[in-house]
Structure 1
Amino acid sequence: MYTSSVLALASFAIPSLAAYQPVWNYNASNFWDNFNFIDSADIFTRGFAQYVGIDEALSSGLAKINNGKVRLGVDSKNTYSATSSGRKSIRLQSWGNFDNGLLVADFAHVPVQGCGMWPAFWVYQGERPITPGAYSEIDILENVNVHTANTHSFYTAEKCTIDIQKGNLVPEKSTNCHWESNGPSSQGCSFNAEDGTFNQPFNDQYKVIALQVESERMRIWHFKKNEVPADLNSANPNPDAWTKTPTVHITPKSCDFHKAFQRFHIIINITFCGSWAGDDFNNTNYAGQCAKRTATNDCKSWVGNHPSDFANTYFEFNSIKLFQRA
């Protein structure tokens, strides 16, 4: 098992002077050894999910190895009262953390099905309700309900403005990535990916998402199944040689990326309803798409009473790899 002391390898070298080297390779052979299963209600997003520990996750099949792939899903058999903690699900956090590097997720399947779901694959330092003074987050794969475009958000407790080299900001967001508990609704640098990068369209077309975090820039790529760079199968990938244009490419304007974005743990979770997915049932953010589809504005009741709707709400990973500069 890797530990944070082992992983504090990164030095913010000039990119041209150092090649990437493999540090992590999490896959079916070692996944359970490198992640902690958080056993609690979802207090983080006010979501309708009860996260289970590793023993229950494995015995119930919410977590399992499936044909050499790591599968992480939710209970799709039982009903739940709207007054309960929510549908049983998973939230994993890597034991190790990293400051910079190239994080590559090779997906066999991302969660689908629709109304009520809120899956996320992301990295963070410090959960906002617990340690707001030492907080940073990058959302790598995240959206809700029936939407078909991925979103990316960058948040930090540090003062941090950016320059956008590539990327389309979410309309209500800004180029100020600073987050504070009483800050404006526009805080955080959030970007829309192209349509087809979330939900079932992702599974139909895409395979890999890569995040590069360095002191001089941060970039995110989506790769379709037929366009994954060959060097991602090697020990020394070189993002500067990739021909695919990143979805997001940001550089610091008034920000120390090294200080603002560091000590990241990988998080994988699937929640329901809450402060984002639940809005769709109340005709607020998304013109009531799920209210129309389900004929209700009660997200918790819908999710609690329709277990079979979430049979395909699961992640399946071929691998998660981290490369860092020597």
Structure 2
Amino acid sequence: MMYTSNLILLASLAIPSLAAYQPVWDINASHFFDNFTFVNSPDTFTNGFTQYVGIDEALSSGLAKINNGKVRLGVDSKNTYSTTSSGRKSLRLQSYGWFDNGLLVADFNHVPVAGCGMWPAFWVYQGEQQQGSYAEIDILENVNVHTANTHSFYTSEKCTINVQKGNLVPEKTTDCTWKSDGPSSQGCSFNAEEGTFNQPFNDQYRVVALQVESERIRIWHFKKTEVPADLSSANPNPDAWTKAPTVHITPKSCDFHKAFNHFYIIINITFCGSWAGDDFSNTNYAGQCKAKTGTSDCKSWVAGHPTDFTNTYFEFNSIKLFQRG
């Protein structure tokens, strides 16, 4: 079933502030591709060395497929590319439906693994439909060989926060305001615990949950043995979960409902670009990729080493949205 923005809007407008959560979306292998559009263009969003392909090529090439009842979304790991091309073929999906608030739960069977050059992300943002306004929350994201997840919050609204739990990355502040012509250090970003990204995630973890409400925003990581039983029910209750969130923020000088809304789900894997880096000598993590690959040139590494990205794929059991009703 395809969930339209009108349905989500109606559900959003009808939510009492502290009512119990009710199921709105249950996106799984039986209808996953009906709920997303596939971007078909080079990655101009992050200047990545990536050519996103449309749904027809994604399915025919096997970059997108149903695998044993799970949804696999990956990258080309067979071909080499010219460094003057638009880049390695990959996927960027955007949900047709959007939401303003609720509990978004991603149940992963696998997150991307490889290392140098990769930049995978599972995130939500307003999209280009809201002119003059921007909001983004990064739920699962990092680059290269890092093994800890990061979470970032950006809004075009003036927005300062109180941090109830979470470790801000060193260059970030509690001002989540973002402007298109602002410095790269703007916005609020938090480090998650070690083991929440890359292969260590696959070894231990399964579920990442985002709660967005007017009074607070929280993000949890759940190991395979920690997934709350009520996530299998129709009425999960995050306030009853014993696992502490990785991040818990509340508004200081900010209207969360105005600052963080109209969210589309994005799933993408890009390469190099503005974070993973075109120059391994100057990217994050103390030159680890230069030492590992023997080159400083991200594009040449990604272009010439297809088998290095055999395990660079997402595999989803489901994506669910619950809203107060």
In the superposition, the TM-score normalised over structure 2's length comes to 0.97
> C-alpha distance in 2, partners of 1:13/1:279?
47
CA distance in 2, matches of 1:183, 1:162: 19
User: How much does 1:172 deviate?
Assistant: 0.1
1:284 CA drift (Å)? 4.1
Deviates most, 172-181 or 281-290? 281-290
Aligned to 1:219: 218
1:119–1:271 CA contact under 8 A, matched in 2: yes
Equivalent residues of 1:126, 1:132 under 8 A apart? no
- Supply the RMSD in Å over aligned alpha carbons: 1.2
SS at match of 1:10: helix
- In structure 1, what is the equivalent of residue 80 of structure 2? 79
Alpha-carbon spacing, 1:280–1:223, altered in 2? closer, same or farther (3 Å): farther
- Measured in 2, the distance between the counterparts of 1:131 and 1:233 equals 34
Tell me which amino acid in the other structure corresponds to 2:320: K
Structure 2: distance between partners of 1:295 and 1:206: 31
| 1:1-326 pair list within 5 angstroms | 1-8=2-9, 9-11=11-13, 13-15=16-18, 18-127=19-128, 133-278=132-277, 281-326=280-325
Q: Deviations over 1:28-55 (max 9, x none)?
A: 0010100000100000000011000000
Paired letter, 2:81: Y
Q: Which amino acid aligns with 2:83?
A: A
The answer on whether the counterparts of 1:280 and 1:289 sit within 8 Å (CA) in structure 2 is no
Aligned equivalents of 2:160, 2:269: Cα separation in 1: 30
Q: Provide the C-alpha distance between the structure 1 equivalents of 2:263 and 2:130, rounded to a whole number of angstroms.
A: 14
Is 1:280–1:288's contact at 8 Å kept on the other side of the alignment? no
The SS at the match of 1:97 is strand
Query: Deviation per CA, 1:30-82, whole angstroms, max 9, x where unpaired?
Result: 10100000100000000011000000000000000000000000000000011
In structure 2, the gaps of 5 or more residues are none
1:132 touches 1:157 (CA, 8 Å); kept in 2?
A: no
**Take 1:285 and 1:230, find their aligned partners in 2: how far apart are those partners?**
38
Indicate conservation of the 8 Å contact 2:276/2:284, yes or no: no
**Mapped contact 2:278–2:299 kept (Cα < 8 A):** no
Aligned partner of residue 225 in structure 2, secondary structure = coil
Q: CA deviation at 1:132?
A: 6.6
Contact 2:88 2:302 (8 Å CA) reproduced: yes
Which secondary structure does the structure 2 equivalent of 1:59 belong to?
Answer: helix
Q: Aligned partners of 2:49, 2:168: CA distance in 1, in Å?
A: 28
SS in 2 for 1:218: strand
| In structure 1, C-alpha distance between the alignment counterparts of 2:237 and 2:51, rounded to whole Å | 40
Deviations 1:124-148 (A, max 9, x none): 0025xx9672110000000001100
Question: CA offset at residue 13 of structure 1?
Answer: 3.2
Q: For the residues of structure 2 that align with 1:157 and 1:198, how far apart are their CA atoms?
A: 28
Q: Is the 8 A contact 1:132 1:180 kept in 2?
A: no
Aligned amino acid, residue 3 of structure 1: T
* Unmatched 5+ stretches in structure 1: none
Q: Quick one: distance in 1 between partners of 2:87 and 2:296? A: 17
Amino acid in structure 1 at the alignment position of 2:215: E
Q: Check the 8 A contact 2:281/2:287 in 1, yes or no.
A: yes
Contact residue 277 and residue 283 of structure 2 kept, 8 A: no
Contact 2:281 2:296 in 1 (8 A): yes
Identity of aligned residues (%): 81
Distance 1:302 1:183 in 2: 31
Change (3 A) 1:270 1:164: same
For the 8 Å contact 2:147–2:198, the answer to whether it is kept is yes
What amino acid does structure 1 have at the position aligned with 2:247? Answer: V
Quick one: which amino acid aligns to residue 161 of structure 1?
T
Residue 279 of structure 1 and its aligned partner are, at CA, apart by 5.5
